[in-house]
Structure 1
Amino acid sequence: MHLPDIGDFTDIPVIEVLVAPGDRVEVDQSILTLESDKATMEIPSPAAGEVESVGVKVGDQVNQGDLLLTLQGGAEQPPADSEPDSTAAEAAERAPAPAVTAQAPAKPPAAAGAPPGEAARRKAPVPTRPADMQAYAPGRTPHASPAVRRFARELGVDLTLVKGSGRKSRIVKDDVQSFVKQTLAAGAPQAPAGGLPFQLPAAPEVDFGKFGQVETQPLSRIKKLSGTHLHRSWLSVPHVTQFDEADITELEAFRKDQKAAAEQAGVKLTFMPFLLKAVAGALAQMPVLKASLAADGENLVMKHYTHIGVAVDTPNGLVVPVLRDVDKKGLFDLARELMAVSGKARDGKLLPGDMQGGTFTVSSLGGIGGTAFTPIVNAPEVAILGVSRSETKPVWNGEKFAPRLLLPLSLSYDHRVVDGADGVRFTTLLSSLLGDIRRLLL
C-alpha cells in the first residue's frame, strides 16, 4: 500500500504506527497517523489482509506515493488508481450507518467505459466484521478518529481500556468522557499487568540549541534501568517521608576507639556497619517495615530474613548491592563485606544476584553533605532510610547546652503498608539504638 493523495501536503511526519508485521487488518482500518501543520489524520487500509512488512516508522516523513506497508492474502485488493480516493472511505465511515447494509458480491472489474476507480469502489467485496473488534483480535489498536485520539492523549487515557459505542465499535468522544467520569467516581482502577491504567502525556520536545551551544550524551545503561524502576516506584507507591535526628556522640567515640582493632583485622571500620546493625535491630522489632505488599494488594508478605541493600555511587550511576543476613553478622564482618561489594560496584562487576532479595534499603549521603532528602522507596520493598551528614549542635540537657553529634534521618515508606505512627516509631527506635548501641544486646 502506498500513501494516497491527502491534499496539498509534503514531508508529513508519522506520529503513530498502528499495525505491525503479522497483524490482521480489515478494510478501512487505520494503519498509521500523520500530523500536518493543520491537522492530524489517520490513513485507512484500502484492503483486508495480513501485514507482511511496514515501510515506515514513527518520526519518518512521507509524501504521496511512498510505500507504507505490504499486505498478503485476505480480501480482494482494489486497483492502485483507487488509492487516492481512500480518504473518501474514511469520511464515509464517519457518516451515520445506513438503515440496511448488504454484502456486495465479488465480481470482475467494471465493464468497459466505466472509470476503473469508481468500478472498484462499486464492486469490491465488503468483509464482515464482528461488532466488538477487541473480541475478534485482543490487543489490536483501538478504532478511533484522529480527533478522538488527540483528545484521549490530552487526558492521558489509554484507548485500549475504552469501550467504543460508535459504528463498528469505533470510539467516540463521549466514550472517552464517560471513561474519565467512571474512573474519577470509582477511584483508581486495577492497573493492567506491567503498567498504569492510563498513559501520561508525553513531555514536549524542546530545541535547546536555539538558546546556546549544546551537546547530547547518551545515558548509561545503569541510569536507564534504574530510571525506569524509580519512575515506576514513584508513580505506583504513595510516599511519605519522616524526618528525625539521632544522637551518635557516644557511638562515634566508640567507633574511633575500635579503629586500631579493625585495622589489625584488615578492615576499615566506618559508620555504616553500625548503622546496618541498628537498622537490623529496629527491623526485628518492627518487621512490617521489611514486608512487601502482595500482588493482589490484599495481603502482606512477611519476611523472616534481613537482607539490606546499600546504595553505592559509581561513575555510571547508582546501584544497590544487597548484604545478606545483616542481623547475624558482626561489625567487622559487615565492614569487610561492605568493602568487597563497594569495590565490585565501582568496577562494574556486580552480578544480578548481588542486587536482588533486599528487604530494606539504606542510602547514605553523609560523605557528600546535605541536611535531609526524600529517598524513593525501592519497590517491592516498603521503606528506605536516607542518611545525611552528621553535625555537632548544642543540645539542652536540662541544665545547660552541650555539644552533641546529631545524625539526620529521612525515612520514606509506602503508606499503604506503613502508617505514619509506625513510621515515627521506627525512626524513634532507630535513634535510641544509635544513641546507645548497647541496646542491641538486649
Structure 2
Amino acid sequence: MALQQVTVPDIGDYKEVDVIEVNVSVGDEVKEEDSLITLETDKASMEVPAPFDGVVKEILVKEGDKVSEGSVILQVETATKQAQGTNSAPLDETKEISADKSTSQASYEVTVPDIGDYKDVDVIELNVSVGDEVKEEDSLATLETDKASMEIPSPKDGKVTAIAIKVGDKVSQGSLVLTLAVNGADASHMTTQEALPKVEEIKLPEAKVEQPVAVAESQVIDNTKAHASPAVRRLARILGVDLSRVSASGRKGRITKEDCESYIKKAVTQVQSGQVGGAGAGLDLLPDPVVDFAKFGEIETESLSRINKLSAKNLARNWVKIPHVTFYDDADITDLEAFRKAKKAYAEKQGVKITPLSFLIKAAASALQHYPRFNSSLSNDGESLIIKKY
C-alpha cells in the first residue's frame, strides 16, 4: 500500500481557480477517472479526475478554496505504488485514440465538449480543412443552439487529417468532430471526456409523471444566466430538469444538486395538486393571411437560422401580450425646409406641391434599401424571410 498525492493538472493559463464542489469524502473508494473536485474559471467549469484507483485518506481542499496547477487536493492510498505525476494531464474535453511516445506523431480525435443540456446542435460553420495546421485554441467549427452560437476550440497543436462533420449536421456532446495528427510527446498526455460522479438516488413523493415535469407557468424564474457544474448538468439531463427554470442558491448564482432536487419535489407536488396550468391562452388570434408579395414586385427568399426562428416566435407572442411604448424624438429640419421653400416656385410651375412628407418618404425609401430586412415579411411557415425589392 502506498499513499499518493493528487494534484491539480494542467488547467491552461488559469491561476487561483475556485473550488466549487468536492465530489468525494474521506474513506471513499475511487476508480481511475472518477471526478474528485469541480473547479470554475471565469469561462467554464471543469472536473479533476482521479489519476488512479484507491481510497481517499485525506482531503486538503474545501468549497471556496482557490487552487492552481500543481496544488495538492487530496491523498489517496493505492494498492501499488503509482508513478508520480500520473495526474498531470490537461483537462481537455477530448479523447485520444492512439498515443505512443515512440512514434513521432499520433492520431488524436477531437470531440464535442460539454455544451450543457443541448443535443442535436446544428453545425453552421467549419473553420478548417483537411491538411490545415492548427494551434491550440484555434476555432475548428461553430455550433448554434437555440440561444447562442459557440465555437469548438482545438485542444492541441496539430494537423487536420480528417473531418467527420459538415455544415448542416447535428452533433451532441461526444460527437466526433475531426482527427488531428499531433506530436507523440503531446499526444502521450492522457485525456478524457469529463469524468462525472455517480448520481445519487433522489426520493420523491409517490407520483407517476409521464413526462419531464415543469414548474407552473405562474412561477416565472429568470435564471438564464445561472450556471452549474458538469455533474449538476448531467443530473439535470437525467431528471429532465430545465435549468433555466431552477432557482440557484450556490455561490455566484450557481445551481447545485440540492436546487435540482428541490425543483423536482416542488414540481411533483404541483402536479399532484393540479396547480400546473397554461398561461397566455384565450387570445383567439386570427390565422395569418396568405399574401403573394411577388405580385407587387421582385422578392427574394432568405432562410432563417435556428436562433432567428425561435426569436420570431417569441417576439410575435410578446407583440400581442406586452403593452407598447411610443418613442418621440426631435429632428432639426431647418435646412430641409429652406430647400423645400426654394423649390416652391418651381413646383408650382409644374403643377405640383412639395410638402415635408415627400422628403420623409424619400428618407424611408433610402433607409429600407440600406437595411432590406426592415422591408421584409415572415413566411407563413415561419421558416424564411420574404425580402421585398420594391
TM-score by length of 2: 0.29
Instruction: Considering fraction of residues, name the structure with more strand.
Output: 2
Instruction: Considering fraction of residues, name the structure with more helix.
Output: 1
TM-score by length of 1: 0.26
Q: Of the two, which has the highest radius of gyration?
A: 1
